[in-house]
Amino acid sequence: MGLLENKTALVTGAGSGIGREIALHFAAEGAKVLVSDINDLDGQKTVSMVRERKGVAEYFHANSGSPQECEALVNEAMNKFGGLHIAVNNAGVGGPSVPVGEYPIDGWDRVIQINLSGVFYGMRYQIPALLKSGGGSIVNIASILGQVAFPNSCAYVAAKHGVIGLTQNAAVEYATQNIRINAIEPGFIKTPLLEKNMTPEAFAMLEKKHPMGRLGESSEVAELCTWLSSSKASFVTGSFYPIDGGYLAQ
């Protein structure tokens, strides 16, 4: 029996990268997974990959920056699977690379809307559904930049710091109601998008920033997320876990 047998889960931003790997890992451990993204082709591809591996998954288009669509996503999970036990708020955007004094207002608004408000919108509707389903786990995908600065990324850094605070606050509020809420802080993770948008020289420099001398893999983040979402982590709430090859230890 898998770690997540008889559980239902939703994963935002699951059309690629970390979100896709989390969906695949959840399904492999027995969960029924509602895959969410704004890129329908990518989202459907994740569902196909789950089904090819004999897992159970459905797709639902939802923009995490919209409270209405976050509510609709939770309702879909409840209607499709009859409950909700696990939610992963993974969807996010990078934003412009500009110093604070020049940062575009629309860029700030978009990053905060999706990366911070989107996590709040998700939990706002996920928590009542989890309570109705008897409890469960929420994992918010933050970043190592929820702990430290990164020049020219003020909106992203501010949003990810906010995700950590929001995670801790919600965890304390629901600690006695069988809901655990934690965050993961990935370092720089090797994804097709990252490799596509960086020169080999820049990629090599980024690898050197990590003491292990490499970037992380999406599957490594998914392994941690699976553990946090399972009963193996039954006494873990309000925590945030770096998975960064030693980046924050420097």
Q: Report the catalytic residues.
A: 156
In whole angstroms, give the CA distance from residue 9 to residue 86: 4
The residues facing 60 across adjacent strands are 36
How is residue 118 written in tokens? 């989107």
- Straight-line distance from the first to the last Cα atom of the chain, in angstroms, rounded to the nearest whole number: 40
- Residue 85 · residue 7 · CB < 8 Å: yes
Contacts of 169 (CB under 8 A, 6+ apart): none
Please state, in angstroms and rounded to a whole number, the distance separating the CA atoms of residues 238 and 184.
11
Please provide the DSSP assignment of 129-171 as one string: HHHHTT-EEEEEE--GGGTS--TTBHHHHHHHHHHHHHHHHHH
Task: State residue 238 phi and psi, 5-degree precision.
Answer: 75, 15
